[in-house]
């Protein structure tokens, strides 16, 4: 297992796939190809699925498998490709890890069904699903055992389960600090979203972060990461204040359809893929698209 390769490709901005759809609810495979190509050409070292960003809630299991195989082919070893399982049973998740491995995925993100778990159950789950393919923990999947139980799980996985190679942080700061401090010398760790989360985790050990800007305005992501590499934290904070804070505040507090719909709309304005999500999820209207376009243009974000 080449941990140096994982750490290299997950350092910096990471591209999480917003599954694109056509207006008729079909998956937009041409748009997905453009999305992946754009992100890799923009400098993303890793392209990955997650159950949230990738809208697994409106996809069938067969479609998740098809998207995994298709995306592995598009990535074609130009970047690291991490597949994602759904919130499935242990046997189903382990079988999916084998499937993803055979289609060319480098690793898989996994989390158990969120209906109450124990530390012993979590360790057994991650052991089983990481035997076929290196696994990253979706840290929100540890919430049911609380922060103490989650950190105990991390310690046991470090000792007992070599197939787990890192985690994507979306639990919360109390867990993140403790887990990074315990695990970063052996695991690869990336923040689940936004540069400020990455900066919060950085002193404790964090390799990269899932970037929204790498998907449509990569200069912003590159400027932030260049500041991080120079150790210029004031410069990195300036990028956050100028771009991230107004961007996410506007997207998540302006449109009734919500921030995820607005992120899909940004991809349409950038000419990558359409704004559409699958029913019953709402989309931005034409009038809302014009408002969003004006905001992005005024902020030098388009």
Q: What is the mean pLDDT of residues 79-96?
A: 98
18-36 pLDDT, tens per residue?
999 999 999 999 999 999 9
DSSP 23-81: TTS-B-HHHHHHHHHHHHHHT-SEEE--TTTTTGGGS-HHHHHHHHHHHHHHHTTSSEE
CATH of the domain at 139: 3.20.20.70
216-260 pLDDT, tens per residue?
999 999 999 999 999 999 999 999 999 999 999 999 999 999 999
232 φψ region: left (φ > 0), alpha (ψ -120 to 50), beta (else): beta
Write down the residue that tokens 């990074």 correspond to.
180
How far, in Å, CA of 183 to CA of 175, rounded? 12
Q: What is the pLDDT of residue 194?
A: 80
Q: What is the mean pLDDT of residues 100-107?
A: 98
How far, in Å, CA of 271 to CA of 59, rounded? 24
Dig out the tokens for 19 from the structure.
């599954």
Q: Which residues contact 142 (CB under 8 A, 6 or more apart)?
A: 117, 122, 149, 150, 153, 171, 175
Q: List the helix and strand counts (H, then E) for the chain.
A: 13, 8
136 neighbors 168 (Cβ within 8 angstroms): yes
Count of domains for the chain:
1
Task: Tell me if 73 is assigned to some domain.
Answer: yes
- How many Cβ atoms sit within 10 Å of the Cβ of residue 143? 17
Q: What is the pLDDT of residue 233?
A: 97
Q: Which residues contact 135 (CB under 8 A, 6 or more apart)?
A: 97, 107, 108, 109, 110, 126, 129, 163, 164, 165
DSSP character at residue 25 = S
190 neighbors 14 (Cβ within 8 angstroms): yes
Task: Tell me if 190 is assigned to some domain.
Answer: yes
Dig out the tokens for 202 from the structure.
């950085």
300 φψ region: left (φ > 0), alpha (ψ -120 to 50), beta (else): left
Confidence check: pLDDT of 1 > 90:
no
Q: What is the pLDDT of residue 192?
A: 87
Kindly report the pTM of this predicted structure: 0.97
Confidence check: pLDDT of 161 > 90:
yes
How far, in Å, CA of 82 to CA of 79, rounded? 10
Confidence check: pLDDT of 7 > 90:
yes
Q: Which residues contact 126 (CB under 8 A, 6 or more apart)?
A: 110, 135, 137, 157, 161, 163, 164
122-151 pLDDT, tens per residue?
999 999 999 999 999 999 999 999 999 999
Q: What is the pLDDT of residue 193?
A: 74
Mean pLDDT taken over the chain? 97
What's the gap between Cα 190 and its chain centre?
9
Task: Tell me if 236 is assigned to some domain.
Answer: no
Peptide bond into 280 cis (omega under 30): yes
Q: What is the pLDDT of residue 115?
A: 82
174-218 pLDDT, tens per residue?
999 999 999 999 999 999 878 889 999 999 999 999 999 999 999
Task: Tell me if 149 is assigned to some domain.
Answer: yes
Task: Tell me if 256 is assigned to some domain.
Answer: no
Q: What is the mean pLDDT of residues 60-76?
A: 99
Dig out the tokens for 27 from the structure.
């998956």
pLDDT tier at 96 (50, 70, 90 boundaries)?
Answer: very high
Q: What is the pLDDT of residue 97?
A: 99
How far, in Å, CA of 218 to CA of 95, rounded? 36
278 neighbors 25 (Cβ within 8 angstroms): yes
Q: What is the pLDDT of residue 88?
A: 97
pLDDT tier at 114 (50, 70, 90 boundaries)?
Answer: confident
Confidence check: pLDDT of 105 > 90:
yes
Domain range spanning residue 55?
3-230
Task: Tell me if 47 is assigned to some domain.
Answer: yes
Task: Tell me if 273 is assigned to some domain.
Answer: no
Q: What's phi and psi for 272, nearest 5 deg?
A: -100, -50
Dig out the tokens for 38 from the structure.
């754009």
Q: What is the pLDDT of residue 2?
A: 87
Task: Tell me if 71 is assigned to some domain.
Answer: yes
């Amino acid at each position: 297992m080449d941990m140096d390769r994982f750490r290299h490709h997950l350092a910096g901005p990471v591209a999480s796939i917003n599954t694109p759809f056509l207006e008729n609810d079909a998956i937009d495979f041409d748009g997905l190809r453009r999305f992946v190509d754009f992100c890799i050409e923009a400098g993303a070292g890793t392209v990955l699925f997650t159950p949230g960003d990738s809208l697994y809630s409106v996809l069938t299991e067969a479609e998740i498998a098809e998207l995994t195989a298709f995306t592995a082919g598009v990535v074609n070893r130009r970047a690291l490709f991490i597949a994602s399982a759904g919130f499935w049973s242990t046997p189903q998740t382990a079988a999916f890890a084998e499937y993803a491995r055979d289609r060319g995925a480098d690793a898989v993100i996994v989390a158990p069904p969120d209906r109450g778990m124990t530390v012993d159950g979590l360790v057994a789950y991650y052991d089983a699903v990481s035997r076929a393919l290196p696994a990253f923990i979706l840290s929100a999947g540890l919430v049911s055992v609380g922060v103490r139980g989650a950190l105990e799980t991390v310690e046991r996985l470090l000792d007992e389960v070599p197939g787990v190679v890192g985690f994507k942080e979306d639990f919360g700061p109390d867990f993140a600090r403790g887990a990074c401090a315990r695990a970063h010398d052996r695991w690869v760790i990336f923040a689940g979203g936004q540069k400020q989360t990455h900066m919060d985790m950085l002193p404790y050990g964090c390799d990269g972060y899932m970037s929204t800007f790498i998907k449509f305005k990569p200069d912003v992501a590159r400027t932030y990461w260049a500041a991080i590499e120079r150790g210029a934290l004031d410069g990195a904070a300036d990028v956050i204040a100028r771009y991230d804070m107004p961007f996410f505040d506007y997207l998540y507090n302006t449109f009734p359809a919500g921030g995820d719909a607005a992120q899909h709309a940004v991809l349409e304005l950038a000419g990558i893929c359409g704004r559409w999500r699958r029913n019953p999820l709402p989309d931005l209207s034409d009038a809302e698209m014009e408002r969003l376009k004006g905001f992005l243009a005024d902020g030098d974000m388009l």
